[in-house]
Chain A
Amino acid sequence: DIQLTQSPSFLSASVGDRVTITCRASQGISSYLAWYQQKPGKAPKLLIYAASTLQSGVPSRFSGSGSGTEFTLTISSLQPEDFATYYCQQLNSYPWGWTFGQGTKVEIK
């Protein structure tokens, strides 16, 4: 099975900060990676797919990059509504485990 490790697990930041979250895969997954945002009590929301493609309607301050085993989600200028938990998901092997990372919680400093 492919394991995904996100870092950091917890992040404290201020409005306007540039934030970067890393997701590392235990083996190469090309660009088969998606990023989701989840707020408390809500379903996850798709932000990025194919590692770097912004989902329609998602603000352009969100961006994704990477391929192979290392990926990043960047929020260029953190907004109040961005405080949430972020998950990466690999969708490489269809679908022998479309696994998620453990999550990164972004909180207000």
Chain B
Amino acid sequence: EVQLLESGGGLVQPGGSLRLSCAASGFTFSSYAMSWVRQAPGKGLEWVSAISGSGGSTYYADSVKGRFTISRDNSKNTLYLQMNSLRAEDTAVYYCAKVGVVVVAATHFNYFDYWGQGTLVTVSS
């Protein structure tokens, strides 16, 4: 059974830092890209960042580029999100998600097939 368990959320002051972790189990972690998605209170979903299975490629939404860093430790089956220079607008529940892929006629289709339960990050003084 695939399980994703986020941790590391909490209250932080504006300008502060926080590192989120996502412990994965039930699948070959290194074989799959992973992603972070956030949801501000009462708002919709916002894609934040993604990382390839090897960790060699990383991608960010413009809203977090230069402030957040995604990484992974495949030996520990763990995904991370280092968040620096936090702002009030970063307040949200942060979800990690496994990126599934299916190949149809040589075309790769991605999707987020498993999600963690989320961890709340509150940026406030």
Contact = CB atoms under 8 A, between A and B. Distances in A.
Interface of A: 1, 30-32, 34, 36, 38, 43-46, 49-50, 53, 55, 87, 89, 91, 94-103
A101 B61 CA distance: 15
Contact of A34 (B37, B111, B116): B111
B44 A43 contact: no
Given A49-B100, A96-B59, A102 B113 contact: no
| B: interface residue count bin | 20 to 34
Interface of B: 35, 37, 44-47, 50, 59, 61-62, 95, 100, 102, 104, 107, 109-113, 115-118
Q: Chain B: interface secondary structure?
A: strand
Contacts, number: 73
Contacts of B46: 100
Contacts of B61: 97
Contacts of B100: 46, 49
